Structure 1
Amino acid sequence: MPTVPGHPEAIVHPTAAAPGFEVERVAPREALAEFVDYHWLVRWSVPQPHRQQVVSQPRVHVAAEDGQLLVHGISRSPFYRTLTGNGHVLGAAFHAGGFRPLLRGSVGAISGTAQPGRDLLAGDDRPVAERILTGTDSAEMIDAFERYLLHTDPVPDPTGREITALVGDAKRRRDIVRAGQLAAHADCSLQRLFTEYVGIGPKWVIQRFRILDAAGVAHSGERIDWSALAYELGFSDQAHLTRVFTHVVGTPPATYQRTHGLL
């Protein structure tokens, strides 16, 4: 199974999480590659309950947890999970424009929600969730998961492909700091298309990537000129970056780096 890098900058306080966690990211089979970016499998063994935060990204996740497959729409709120003892969870991280072909409706309609797969996708999700959650072999768990997803018979969508490409541009290019910089490449209203395919507007998407850029810089362990970085990432000043970063991560960026062993 080919591995993929994923987006480790989205894991908040990675040094605190590292000792008890093992994260495996695997590319999907070819039939799902246009829709699913990668599968992620997290195994943990923690002596005490551990509350982990992950910064939400502009993508839908489907994950086997609590005896079912839950479809997680994009949320503006911080995402936390409290983990205890030993366990694992398997999920699929979809491309930004990749979930609508499975949902066959506006992804904006599920934003801020977590709903069972049986309500949105391909029939009863509980048998496959049980196979995943009681399994031990990564390949077998992923195979069962992908078979369930393929039962939705997703059809490639050129507009979804375009949206995925635009979101990819916003992620890779730090110089993209306004929705208008993406709109120059699109023929229709980005707000409408992003709501339909991604589940949230382009302004949020761009700002979230710039916050993830700031988190990635904090994780580097290097000394940072936060004022200069704020300007580079399109924030009006350091105070603006600090406000948004604190809202997303829970603490100002300089404090986050200093107090969690990242400097």
Structure 2
Amino acid sequence: MPQVISGRGVLYPTRLPTFQRVAAPAELADFIRWFWIPRWDIPLGRSSRQHVLPFPASNLVVEPNGVTLQGPTTRASYRDLRGKGWAVGALLRPAAVASLCDEPSGIRDSTITIDAPELHGAVVTAMQSERETDATAHAAAAFASWAEARLTPADEGGLLANAIEDLIASDSEIIRIDQIAKLVNITARHVQRVTHRYVGVPPLAIIRRYRLQEAAERIREDSSLTIGQVAAELGYADHAHLTRDFRQVLGLAPADYRRGLRADAQSDAVDLRLAP
């Protein structure tokens, strides 16, 4: 399974000492976008705060102490890392969530424990490999084998939810529910029902999160773009509209985010993001 290189969701790349994404095998394309595997080793007495802007989806995560299902989020968050550790997560497609949770909206912005001893044991064993590259490949393969055996076949609603997610993720011109409804030939109300059932957040929240992922990526990767240009390219009414969304979700304005990136580039501080 090859490593996936993507800038999406990585708010501060210079804070990533060890983080890998591994593509899911083709047979799991309806269930998992990719596996994400961070490692950290923080000196005694110090901590590393990881600011995250996750994708609008759920994640199944294996860590040394167990397996959890992290529900969809409506805001940015952070986690303080200490000591030495790792995680192996799977960014789930909407069709996969039904196998693990009856009501994804019920775990919005929260985490629940999943009883999956076989998955936990296989991934922990893989992560104990002496070579880090071997551990990453083996852990992703073990996770994939478990998922292929455990996740139930995608139903019609799950596949429709996948199609809606793909449209939003791939077309930055989609900014309204009626655009989605027309493209998949269903009513706007049906779009809302499907995303509620299989993602756990409203369709407008999914659109907004993907556009903010794109905005952050463009601000980070192209310093020649003005905030107004980024806003126009992503369908925002104006600079102020993007700034309002950015501030509400991330807690800072786009200009402040850009200044933080510059400060990071000039600093030798090393940090690690734990996010899918």
- TM-score above 0.5: yes
Amino acid at match of 1:160: G
Q: Structure 1 residues 73 and 186 mapped into 2: Cα distance closer, same or farther (>3 Å)?
A: farther
Asked whether 1:177 is paired with 2:178, we answer: no
CA RMSD, 1 decimal = 2.4
Asked whether 1:9 is paired with 2:5, we answer: no
> 1:169 offset after TM fit, Å?
1.5
Distance 1:4 1:13 in 2: 18
Tell me, yes or no, if the aligned pair for 2:127 and 2:138 is still in contact at 8 Å.
no
Quote the residue 1:149 is aligned against: 147
Q: Say which of 56, 59, 67 aligns to 1:58.
A: 56
> 1:39 offset after TM fit, Å?
0.8
SS at 1:53's partner residue? Answer: strand
Q: Which is bigger in relative contact order (C-alpha 8 A, separation at least 6)? A: 2
> 1:133 offset after TM fit, Å?
5.6
Quote the residue 2:111 is aligned against: 114
Quote the residue 2:243 is aligned against: 242
SS at 1:239's partner residue? Answer: helix
Structure 1 runs (4+) greater than 4 angstroms displaced: 122-126, 132-136
Amino acid at match of 2:125: R
> 1:259 offset after TM fit, Å?
3.0
Q: Say which of 91, 95, 98 aligns to 1:98.
A: 95
Gaps of 5+ in 1: none
Amino acid at match of 1:4: V
Distance 2:35 2:18 in 1: 14
Gaps of 5+ in 2: 266-276
Q: Structure 1 residues 12 and 49 mapped into 2: Cα distance closer, same or farther (>3 Å)?
A: same
Quote the residue 1:258 is aligned against: 259
Tell me, yes or no, if the aligned pair for 2:30 and 2:96 is still in contact at 8 Å.
no
Q: What TM-score do the two structures reach when normalised by structure 2? A: 0.82
SS at 2:38's partner residue? Answer: strand
Q: Structure 1 residues 221 and 187 mapped into 2: Cα distance closer, same or farther (>3 Å)?
A: closer
Question: Could you report, residue by residue, the CA deviation over 1:180-207 in whole angstroms, capped at 9, with x for unpaired residues?
Answer: 1101123241111000111111101111
Asked whether 1:131 is paired with 2:132, we answer: no
Distance 1:260 1:197 in 2: 35
Amino acid at match of 1:165: A
Q: Structure 1 residues 164 and 215 mapped into 2: Cα distance closer, same or farther (>3 Å)?
A: same
Tell me, yes or no, if the aligned pair for 1:64 and 1:132 is still in contact at 8 Å.
no
Distance 2:11 2:250 in 1: 7
